[in-house]
Structure 1
Amino acid sequence: MRRNGPPCPTPRPRLLALAMLLLAGCASAPPPVPGGPPVTRIAVIARGWHTDICLAYPDAGERVRALASGFDGARFLCFGFGERQFVMAREHGVLATLSALLPSRAALLMTVLNAPPEAAFGAREVVNLEVGEKGLDGLQAYLRASVQDTADGQAMRLGDGPYPGSVFFAATGTYDAFFTCNTWTAEGLRAAALPVDGNILLSGTLMRQARGLARQQAPALAR
């Protein structure tokens, strides 16, 4: 029987706070494919059992950028999904881990970076992918729709995240053993019109597909 692992914790990257202050130079965007449609770079991030989606602040769209109001120098926004009580708790016992596998409320962790994702998470944990205009529109809509609103239409902020530059929002939908953080990330890539297959539960499965897509895109970008 395949083990699903723990319920998508949002681990603290080593020296993330320092990394966000270093390498402040903006990552240069790749040139568009000659004669092809405009493309935008997004990133899939491996964080142990967990995965995030990142995109450059200018590419996030007005409604998603509004989530980062109050953060100075935002260059990249990263988003990850998880079981609300588990990801916001400081201690994770066996009972909390098991209960998180049952259908329960979810949270979205937004991490604001002023340096490229490679500086914060390590280049080996980052897979860059290209999406077209429609794919970017789809991803923007998916990210904003994943955030629960208050009665007056404002994003429901739950509190500060586990490290500087991060914040928790209430997420729409529920988390359970069959819809994990990695399922959420995979759905986001599908919203971006990327061909991600299957009901993905594990980060390793998702990252293998993401790396395969990156290899497929590389020849077109090289032309």
Structure 2
Amino acid sequence: MKRLLRGVGLVVLMSVTALIAGTVVPRPPWTDSRSPDAAPKREILLLSNAIHTDIAIPVDPDLLLRFGFLSAGGLAIDQPGVRYLVFGWGGRAFYIETPEWSQLKPLPVLKALTVDRSVMHIERAGGIDRAHPAVTPLAMDNAGYQRLLQFIEASFAKQGDMPVAIPGAAYGQNDIFYEANGRFNALLGCNTWTSAALRQAGLATGWWNPLPATLSVSLALHNDLPDR
């Protein structure tokens, strides 16, 4: 029994150490030396809950054109009142089959803890309160913004030249699921995808951020975040 307890304690200690190191060690390990006023700023929003993060991007004509395939797939994005497109990546079974905690099922949880296919989730949204505790405004230059969009676009799996919508997969009238590139697992999941996307935009994150809390802390540690 003592050996078992020591083993459990060692695993817990290693896990906590990895989470702390993954938060405080920056990735990339250097920062951009350009003046913060050297280029125009673009702002996006990081949306967080207890286990998942999304990226909300303000709608403009270029964004609507770039992701116009969403309308063809069944989510009209050029509607009055649409202010943001919200993008997230995650495990197929858990993401699609668990819109609410009350709908949690054993099989999607098992797949999330092992390996699963991945999906993109896109939601159209109206105004989002920048001051809400679950919202983190993030600024970048235009080049970083374009790299972010390229990263998001490349996350969609395609058949020919077109991303593949998943028929009947949605939480309601304002969202849609698409097939995605990459495999999901608990160690390299939705929040590490978000971290990678933000690094493409020129932001520094922690080296490994599997949780929304560690990602938020690492962004605050390694970047000058906009005022709310």
Whether the TM-score (by the shorter chain) exceeds 0.5 is yes
| The structure with more radius of gyration | 2
Alignment-mate amino acid for residue 142 of structure 2: E
Structure 1 equivalent of residue 40 of structure 2: 38
Counterpart selection for 1:179 from 175, 183, 188: 188
Aligned equivalents of 2:195, 2:64: Cα separation in 1: 20
Residues 1:208 and 1:60: Cα distance change in structure 2 (over 3 Å): farther
CA RMSD after TM alignment: 2.6
Instruction: Give, in angstroms, the shift of residue 103 of structure 1.
Output: 2.2
- Aligned sequence identity (%): 24
Instruction: Give, in angstroms, the shift of residue 167 of structure 1.
Output: 0.7
Residues 1:138 and 1:34: Cα distance change in structure 2 (over 3 Å): closer
Aligned residues of 2:69 and 2:163 also touching (Cα < 8 A): no
Instruction: Give, in angstroms, the shift of residue 150 of structure 1.
Output: 1.8
User: Is structure 2 residue 97 aligned with structure 1 residue 89?
Assistant: yes
Unaligned 5+ runs, structure 2:
1-11, 17-34
Aligned residues of 1:110 and 1:167 also touching (Cα < 8 A): yes
Question: TM-score w.r.t. structure 2 length?
Answer: 0.72
User: Is structure 2 residue 101 aligned with structure 1 residue 108?
Assistant: no
Residues 1:160 and 1:75: Cα distance change in structure 2 (over 3 Å): farther
Residues 1:212 and 1:60: Cα distance change in structure 2 (over 3 Å): farther
Aligned residues of 2:156 and 2:179 also touching (Cα < 8 A): yes
Give 1:70-219 correspondences, 5 Å limit.
Answer: 70-71=76-77, 72-73=79-80, 74-90=82-98, 91-116=103-128, 118=129, 123-151=132-160, 153-158=161-166, 159-212=168-221, 216-218=224-226
Aligned residues of 1:44 and 1:128 also touching (Cα < 8 A): yes
Runs of 4 or more off by more than 3 Å in structure 1?
A: 33-36, 59-62, 211-214
Counterpart selection for 1:62 from 42, 45, 65: 65
